[in-house]
Amino acid sequence: MSGLNAAVSTLSGVGPKKAEALAKLDIKTLTDVLFHLPLRYEDRTRITPIAQLIHGVDAQIEGQVIDIRIAFGRRRALLCTIEDDSATAVLRFFHFSKKQQQLLQRAHWLRCYGNARAGKPGHIEMVHPEYQLISEPGTLQSEAGLTAVYPATEGVGQHLLRQISTAALNTLNNDGGLLELLPEAVSQHFQFTSVSMIEAINYIHRPPADANLAKLIEGDHPMLQRLVFEELLAHHLSLRQRRKVREGYQAPQIKPKSKLYQDMVAALPFSLTAAQQRVINEIANDCSSVLPMQRLLQGDVGSGKTVVAAAAIANAVAANEQCVLMVPTEILSEQHYRCLINWFEPLGITVAWLHGRVKGAQRNKLLAALVNGDISILVGTHAVFQDEVEYKKLGLIIIDEQHRFGVPQRLALQRKGERDQSRPHQLIMTATPIPRSLAMTFYADLDLSVIDELPPGRQVITTTVISGQRRNEVVERIRHACLEGRQVYWVCTLIDESEVIVSQAATDTAEELTEQLSSARVGLVHGRMKGDEKAEQMAAFKSGQIDVLVATTVIEVGVDVPNASLMVIENAERLGLSQLHQLRGRVGRGDKKSHCLLMYHGRLSQNARSRLSIMRETNDGFAIAHKDLELRGPGELLGVRQTGDMRLRIARLDEGEAMLDDIRVVADDLLSNSPEIVAQLLQRWLGRAQDFATV
Ligand code: ADP
Ligand code: MG
């Protein structure tokens, strides 16, 4: 192979060992090198006088070595002091070898690159800077452009990555045509494709010294947008293909409006909302077709998705199909289990519950009943698609809170029901409001149903933003609420802290509250508790034996205790709006007037203030999601980070929004006129990930 298809091992400096390490970064060919894009850039185009260093800013300096010694303080360190015309700086190394020490001792002049930080008063230092010995200042040429910093891995450092990207760029510039996949007739038409791929790739790897770094990093630089466009296009195409693959399969035809369904609905203590009725029909309609349903049901927290799922289950069970309902947490799985038992057992249908703690004989019995077909409905966590789990005839899969699951998990479950060219119907439910335009592009393999109405009688949740300094008042408020027979959640959050620390914080808070609220019964759930302990506390809260439940965000998804009407969220300023909305959705589920207190600590930044005030102003999940997109970017919103469902290399979904219309038009064109280009785009941007598309 030659040109950009050549293997990286054909480059000088890349032996078999390095090639293997590069493969871990998914870099096998020169093209892969070109699409291994920088994470950020460093400015090594000039030398900064030491006196002008700024705390926290990266810079390149040169200086004469004037002192070198080992400091034995709290932490042993090698300190090397250098001086230029303007001032002195200390280079601090906590890890150093004898050899390194000797090298520095012999050095006269150094050029360093690193992050400056304030040391002792009036002193500036760099911790572990990169350094280079030089014979005198000003002799080494500075870089002409900004220096790219790439995602690296063990055995593959920046030096190698820069070396091979230079080589790949050289090959590209001699042999460019290969890079441009979009037909000229297409690319000419659209704003985002007006620069060529060659220009864009060269620029991204080697931006000139005067490049607008802020724009490059923010993603709204036209050169970067050219790549973003292509990446989003590739994802969109892959979803469209996945949809095509599905059309090659058959699914059991399930009749709508079965007697079982009618009996179940008749026994409900409420009547369905018009929106619920509409989506129930949409789903029933899908399930009655020979094509496997693949539908995303979106409904704000509390909109009543569970009963919609039950309606679909009823029709499937009536048609002698097994159903599985998969949820991300054990707490939620128990809640759904209890719900379904309530609705289905009186009608003579067996419901079973499978989770990690079902073991031994009990588990064997359950698995046997499942494979026999004695169990019609299975509710559970990830346990429901493990290897030993077999179904007799799985006809309907429902996944609740889908943002917590990744594509691989969804597929593993789907395979449980696959026979030859037949597969189960799938319903995927989410409370995460996805702006419609995004949903159409990024869930293009799914049909979309939306419950856009809350059950009647729901009280608006009043939200108050309050400083942690007023904690005592908050506790008083809880005391009153409990006296009135209301129940309270107290949510402890600490973003970026480990589960251990958060769980500890929750435990401490529960102790404090127990002390302060002598008359109230305080419960506790956190991620470090055993499953049965958690279940016990949840059950006690649900049945009213606990007044105040102190919890971590384990209660974020789905938990439904209608009598709870007050929620306190600590450190609210650190959470995303959509997450706050999810949490807040645990109250306001009954007919009681509900309140949510967002407690913050310290001073609020301008951004945090405006974010929290949005929570105060609206209860509308879609409006909140839109604001979240604006203020935070979409990764959090779609749960991309948690699941890797759609791992984007460069694009962020909010940038995508402006491109969506064009992307759809280009995709239509390519799918009908140039299938070979589609394949190449998928290979380029999704590589191995697109295996998913074909299963
Ligand atoms: P979510 O969409 O957040 O999953 P749930 O399915 O948990 O919502 O429903 C929230 C609460 O509303 C439950 O207690 C449920 O029984 C109740 N509910 C659902 N549909 C209706 C309705 N049409 N009328 C009244 N209450 C309803
Ligand atoms: Mg739910």
Q: How confident is the model at residue 253 (pLDDT cuts 50, 70, 90)?
A: very high
Measured from the CB, is residue 273 less than 6 Å from ligand 1? yes
Which protein residue's CA is at the shortest distance from atom 4 of ligand 1? 305
Please indicate whether residue 308 or residue 577 has the higher confidence score (pLDDT): 308
Which of 306, 427, 586 to mutate for ligand 1's pocket (most ligand atoms within 8 Å of CB)? 306
75-89 confidence digits (pLDDT tens): 889 999 999 999 999
Cα(82) to centroid of ligand 2, in Å?
62
Which of 343, 402, 560 to mutate for ligand 1's pocket (most ligand atoms within 8 Å of CB)? 560
486-496 confidence digits (pLDDT tens): 999 999 987 55
pTM of the full structure: 0.69
30-51 confidence digits (pLDDT tens): 988 998 888 788 888 889 999 9
CB contact at 8 A, 314 and 346: no
Measured from the CB, is residue 311 less than 6 Å from ligand 1? no
580-597 confidence digits (pLDDT tens): 888 898 898 888 889 999
Measured from the CB, is residue 272 less than 6 Å from ligand 1? yes
Read off the tokens for 128.
Answer: 């572990």
Give the C-alpha separation, 172 to 3, whole Å: 8
Task: Find the DSSP H helices in 107-249.
Answer: 158-174, 184-187, 197-205, 213-218, 222-246
Measured from the CB, is residue 431 less than 6 Å from ligand 1? yes
Q: Which are the contacts of 147, defined by CB distance < 8 A and separation ≥ 6?
A: 41, 42, 43, 44, 162
Task: Please name every residue paired with 204 in a beta bridge, in sequence order, or none if there are none.
Answer: none
Q: Which are the contacts of 195, defined by CB distance < 8 A and separation ≥ 6?
A: 222, 223, 226
The CATH superfamily label for domain 461-618 reads P-loop containing nucleotide triphosphate hydrolases (3.40.50.300)
Q: What is the 3-state secondary structure (H, E, C) of 509-527?
A: HHHHHHHHCCCCCEEEECC
Cα(403) to centroid of ligand 2, in Å?
12
Measured from the CB, is residue 306 less than 6 Å from ligand 1? yes
> Residues within 5 Å of ion ligand 2 by Cβ?
558
Q: How confident is the model at residue 107 (pLDDT cuts 50, 70, 90)?
A: confident
347 has pLDDT over 90: yes
Give the C-alpha separation, 296 to 298, whole Å: 6
Cα(183) to centroid of ligand 2, in Å?
46
Please indicate whether residue 605 or residue 470 has the higher confidence score (pLDDT): 470
pLDDT score at 143: 81
Cα(188) to centroid of ligand 2, in Å?
46
Percentage of the chain lying above the pLDDT 70 cut: 91
Which of 279, 300, 303, 401 to mutate for ligand 1's pocket (most ligand atoms within 8 Å of CB)? 303
Q: How confident is the model at residue 14 (pLDDT cuts 50, 70, 90)?
A: very high
- Judged by average pLDDT, the poorest of 47-51, 168-172, 417-421, 545-549 is 417-421
Measured from the CB, is residue 276 less than 6 Å from ligand 1? yes
Please indicate whether residue 456 or residue 318 has the higher confidence score (pLDDT): 318
Give the C-alpha separation, 301 to 648, whole Å: 27
Which protein residue's CA is at the shortest distance from atom 24 of ligand 1? 455
Cα(406) to centroid of ligand 1, in Å?
26
484 has pLDDT over 50: yes
Measured from the CB, is residue 294 less than 6 Å from ligand 1? no
Amino acid at 383: A
Read off the tokens for 269.
Answer: 């203590």
Give the C-alpha separation, 288 to 414, whole Å: 18
Cα(160) to centroid of ligand 1, in Å?
57
Q: How confident is the model at residue 177 (pLDDT cuts 50, 70, 90)?
A: low
CB contact at 8 A, 510 and 503: no
Burial label for 13, CB within 10 Å (0-12, 13-18, 19+), is: exposed
Which protein residue's CA is at the shortest distance from atom 23 of ligand 1? 272
Task: Find the DSSP H helices in 298-435.
Answer: 305-318, 330-344, 360-372, 407-416
Please indicate whether residue 443 or residue 78 has the higher confidence score (pLDDT): 78
Give the C-alpha separation, 450 to 47, whole Å: 58
Task: Please name every residue paired with 488 in a beta bridge, in sequence order, or none if there are none.
Answer: 548, 566
Strand segments, DSSP code E, in 484-616 are 487-491, 522-525, 548-551, 564-569, 594-600
Cα(208) to centroid of ligand 1, in Å?
57
Task: Please name every residue paired with 626 in a beta bridge, in sequence order, or none if there are none.
Answer: none
Where do the CATH 3.40.50.300 domains begin and end in the chain?
Answer: 259-451, 461-618
pLDDT score at 397: 96
645 has pLDDT over 50: no
| Four-residue CA torsion sign, 264, 267, 269, 270 | positive
Please indicate whether residue 468 or residue 459 has the higher confidence score (pLDDT): 468
Question: Looking at ligand 1, which atom is closest to the CA of residue 305?
Answer: 2
DSSP class of residue 7 equals B
Which of 419-433, 552-566, 639-653 shows the highest mean pLDDT? 419-433
299 has pLDDT over 50: yes
Which of 172-181, 346-355, 672-681 shows the highest mean pLDDT? 346-355
- Can you say how many angstroms the Cα of residue 232 is from the centroid of all Cα atoms in its chain? 17
Q: Are strands 58-72 and 76-83 parallel, antiparallel or unpaired?
A: antiparallel
State in words which class domain 46-142 has.
mainly beta
Question: Looking at ligand 1, which atom is closest to the CA of residue 562?
Answer: 14
280 has pLDDT over 90: yes
Measured from the CB, is residue 400 less than 6 Å from ligand 1? no
Q: Which of 202, 415, 469, 431 is nearest to 300 (CA)?
A: 431
Cα(562) to centroid of ligand 2, in Å?
13
Read off the tokens for 475.
Answer: 């506790």
Please indicate whether residue 214 or residue 304 has the higher confidence score (pLDDT): 304
Total residues belonging to the chain: 695
CB contact at 8 A, 443 and 311: no
Question: Would you give the end-to-end CA distance of the chain in angstroms?
Answer: 30
As a whole number, mean pLDDT of residues 121-146 equals: 85
DSSP class of residue 141 equals P
CATH of 259-451, one of 3.40.50.1000, 3.30.460.10, 3.40.50.300, 1.10.150.120: 3.40.50.300
Give the C-alpha separation, 138 to 371, whole Å: 77
Burial 359-378 (b: 16+ CB within 10 A, else e): eeeeeeebbeebeeeebbbb
pLDDT averaged over every residue in the chain? 86
pLDDT score at 436: 60
Cα(343) to centroid of ligand 1, in Å?
13
Q: Which of 330, 385, 379 is nearest to 531 (CA)?
A: 330
pLDDT score at 228: 83
pLDDT score at 337: 95
Measured from the CB, is residue 230 less than 6 Å from ligand 1? no
Measured from the CB, is residue 302 less than 6 Å from ligand 1? yes
pLDDT score at 52: 92
Cα(302) to centroid of ligand 1, in Å?
6
Q: How confident is the model at residue 441 (pLDDT cuts 50, 70, 90)?
A: low
Measured from the CB, is residue 299 less than 6 Å from ligand 1? yes
Cα(85) to centroid of ligand 1, in Å?
72
Cα(401) to centroid of ligand 2, in Å?
7
Read off the tokens for 124.
Answer: 């500036």
- How many helices (H) and strands (E) in the chain? 26, 21
Which of 96-105, 174-183, 507-516 shows the highest mean pLDDT? 507-516
Please indicate whether residue 398 or residue 356 has the higher confidence score (pLDDT): 398
CB contact at 8 A, 231 and 681: no
Helix (H, G, I), strand (E, B) or coil at 399: strand
Please indicate whether residue 134 or residue 351 has the higher confidence score (pLDDT): 351
Give the C-alpha separation, 227 to 181, whole Å: 12
Cα separation values, 556 from 155, 489, 559, 594, 614, Å: 40, 11, 7, 17, 19
Where do the CATH 2.40.50.140 domains begin and end in the chain?
Answer: 46-142
Amino acid at 520: A
Alpha carbon dihedral 213, 216, 221, 222, in 10-degree steps, equals 110
Measured from the CB, is residue 563 less than 6 Å from ligand 1? no
Q: H-helix or E-strand containing 536?
A: helix 531-542
Measured from the CB, is residue 558 less than 6 Å from ligand 1? yes
Ligand nearest to the CA of 621: 1
